[in-house]
Amino acid sequence: MSFAARVIDGRAYAADLKRGIATEVEQLAQAGARPGLATLLVGDDYASASYERRVRRLAEQLGCRYVCEHLPGDAEEADVVACVGKLDADPRLSGILVLRPLPVWVSEAVVYRALDPLKDIEAVHPVNAGLLALGRPRYIPSTPASVFHMLDRHLRDSGCDPQDVYTRSNMVLVGRSNNVGKPAILLGLARGATLLSCDVNSFKAGLLYEHTRQADILIVAAGVPGLITGDHLKPGAIVIDVGINPVEDSRTGRVRLVGDIDFDSVAAVAGAVSPVPGGVGPITDVWLLKNTVAAARLAMGVAAAQPEMSAARTDGELIPG
């Protein structure tokens, strides 16, 4: 089947990022430091376990120290918090990622508050989330950061000035989670886009079509396989699919990951679209290590350049550790 849309190659963008991070890791090694990443997985969620394996491989390839703490699915909240405390206290670790979902009886808010803000590379601790909301981020969460890195690169590769495109665009985000949707809203606003945010209430009210068909740029992070079809789109829109949903093939029993869009129908209408797999995911993996390296610099007492929230800014203020 031929598509109208340009398929955005997230793997190529991730490879470029990875080369830059490898250089940073080498520079840190020369200064006697080694970035260390820890992941905390509770239970055996398929998508989280798949992500953990990818991050492990990438950390090892880049020469970063890596630790995975894997707790059973029936772990109590106190066990999870205690594990976070152990990772906080380990000086060999510069960054900590708590993989979601957590069991329903474990409060994400409680676990996130237990993180050392300097090691909280996904900016889920209230201090880091607040800095992001104020436009002075210590770290930008890896998935929303990767969405906008992909958009910025795609627009430049298409011969456009990203800032000019954003300020003339209607941007619609489907999904309003704390870890993706809300930070993505902040990054879209920082780029000057006119932004509309949808969630399950928009869907229940029958307004999703109305809103998404206004989008020049549509970002979908709903966690619902095939939610968005070609009928939802304005022709020529740029569509970024953030969904990672495990789906079992009824014939083979094999599990594969699919996105939140119906790729074939969307690609027939869109101007550009990111695939799943091979879109935002590979960039997210690398961005997590990018934040880990930044955390290692902070641990050394080196002021880190404030991460960019705008596509136009190239030099950030310095923020204290």
Could you give the C-alpha distances from 282 to 30, 98, 305, in angstroms and in order? 27, 18, 24
> pLDDT averaged over the chain?
92
Question: What is the model's pLDDT at position 305?
Answer: 57
Cβ(146)–Cβ(161) below 8 Å? no
The percentage of residues in the chain with a pLDDT greater than 90, rounded to a whole number, is 86
Residue 111 domain flag: no
How many structural domains does the chain have? 1
Residue 32 domain flag: no
Span 92-141, pLDDT tens digits? 999 999 999 999 999 999 999 999 999 999 999 999 999 999 999 999 99
Rounded distance, CA 286 to CA 113, Å?
25
Task: Give the SS3 label for residue 69.
Answer: strand
Rounded distance, CA 111 to CA 118, Å?
15
Span 226-263, pLDDT tens digits? 999 999 999 999 999 999 898 888 888 888 889 999 99
Residue 19 has pLDDT above 80, yes or no: yes
Residue 135 domain flag: no
At 25, which helix (H) or strand (E)? helix 10-30
The percentage of residues in the chain with a pLDDT greater than 70, rounded to a whole number, is 94
Residue 320 has pLDDT above 70, yes or no: no
Count the helices and strands in the chain (H runs, E runs): 12, 13
Task: Give the SS3 label for residue 106.
Answer: coil
Residue 154 domain flag: yes
Residue 34 domain flag: no
Using the 8-state DSSP alphabet, how is residue 70 labeled? E
Cβ(257)–Cβ(47) below 8 Å? yes
User: Domain span at residue 231?
Assistant: 142-280
Cβ(9)–Cβ(56) below 8 Å? no
CATH number at residue 228: 3.40.50.720
- Token pair belonging to 120: 């909280």
Question: What is the model's pLDDT at position 253?
Answer: 84
Residue 211 domain flag: yes
Residue 289 domain flag: no
Measured at the CA of 57, the angle between CA 47 and CA 48, to 5 degrees, comes to: 15
- Residue 115's contacts (CB-CB under 8 Å, 6 or more residues apart) are 84, 88, 96, 98, 124, 125
Cβ(11)–Cβ(278) below 8 Å? yes
Residue 246 domain flag: yes
